[in-house]
Amino acid sequence: MGKDWNDLAHPYWGRKPLHEIKQKILETSKGDIIFDPFCGSGTVVIEALKEKRRIIALDINPMATFITKVNATPINLYLLTQEYEKIKYSIFKKINDMYNIKCEKCNNMHPFSSAIWEQRGKTSTLINIRVQKKSYPSDETCQFNGFIEPNYKLNKNQLLQQQVDIPYWFPVSK
């Protein structure tokens, strides 16, 4: 049996079996009021709403009623997608710029897919970078040109030697 919407949304310790809940809901008529005094993650609420029942839901845990309200609130997928695209557009360059390394030969920035750091006390040293396989404009003097081997090792003078401030670190303080 596959996972339902609620299993995918979040874990909740007191979840009720969906098939039994649905069976009980179907014993009522459309428009009937169903009372759920322990709404938890909202399984009963969502199933009752799907079957056109009215619902009164309570829980002693305010987080449970919040989760239920959020899960039961219909969303406009078009508006959600539009908002996602706005956010993506506003942060795309800022995030991608954090994954570039400068080639000393051609002065171009090239994206990398992973970096291996060596930790010594409070100091971290970048020792290897996997550069994304991608073609670049032809420049015979640049070793990054063309397709890069995924395990390409950079020597110490090719690494960014500057300390980069990371303003997005969490938690802000220890």
* Tens-place pLDDT, residues 105-137: 666 777 776 777 777 777 777 666 666 555 445
Give the mean model confidence (pLDDT) for residues 141-169.
50
Q: Is residue 164 part of a domain?
A: no
Mark whether 36 and 66 lie in a shared domain.
Answer: yes
Mark whether 102 and 47 lie in a shared domain.
Answer: no
Q: How many distinct structural domains can be found in the chain? A: 2
Do strands 123-131 and 109-120 pair parallel, antiparallel, or not at all (unpaired)?
antiparallel
How much of the chain, in percent, has pLDDT values that exceed 90? 31
Mark whether 51 and 114 lie in a shared domain.
Answer: no
Mark whether 64 and 116 lie in a shared domain.
Answer: no
Q: Is residue 16 part of a domain?
A: yes
Mark whether 73 and 96 lie in a shared domain.
Answer: no
Give the mean model confidence (pLDDT) for residues 9-38.
83
The enclosing domain of 57 has a CATH number of: 3.40.50.150
Q: Is residue 50 part of a domain?
A: yes
Is residue 43 pLDDT above 60, yes or no? yes
Final residue belonging to a domain, choices 36, 55, 77: 77
Q: Is residue 121 part of a domain?
A: yes
Mark whether 65 and 98 lie in a shared domain.
Answer: no
Q: Is residue 139 part of a domain?
A: yes
Is residue 171 pLDDT above 80, yes or no? no
Is residue 150 pLDDT above 50, yes or no? no
Expressed as residue numbers, the domain containing 17 is: 5-77
Q: Per mean pLDDT, which range of 9-13, 55-59, 150-154 is the poorest?
A: 150-154
Three-state SS string over the chain comes to CCCCHHHHHCCCCCCCCHHHHHHHHHCCCCCCEEEECCCCCCHHHHHHHHCCCEEEECCCCHHHHHHHHHHHCCCCHHHHHHHHHHHHHHHHHHHHHHHEEECCCCCCEEEEEEEEEEEECCEEEEEEEEECCCCCCCCCCCCCCCCCCCCCCCCHHHCCCCCCCCCCCCCCCC
The more confident residue out of 16 and 151 is 16
What is the reported pTM? 0.46
Is residue 17 pLDDT above 70, yes or no? yes
Mark whether 60 and 10 lie in a shared domain.
Answer: yes
pLDDT at site 85: 94
Mark whether 55 and 97 lie in a shared domain.
Answer: no
Q: Is residue 64 part of a domain?
A: yes
Mark whether 73 and 104 lie in a shared domain.
Answer: no
Is residue 60 pLDDT above 90, yes or no? yes
Q: Is residue 171 part of a domain?
A: no
* Tens-place pLDDT, residues 62-87: 998 999 999 899 899 999 999 999 99
Q: Is residue 103 part of a domain?
A: yes
Mark whether 70 and 25 lie in a shared domain.
Answer: yes
The amino acid at 142: C
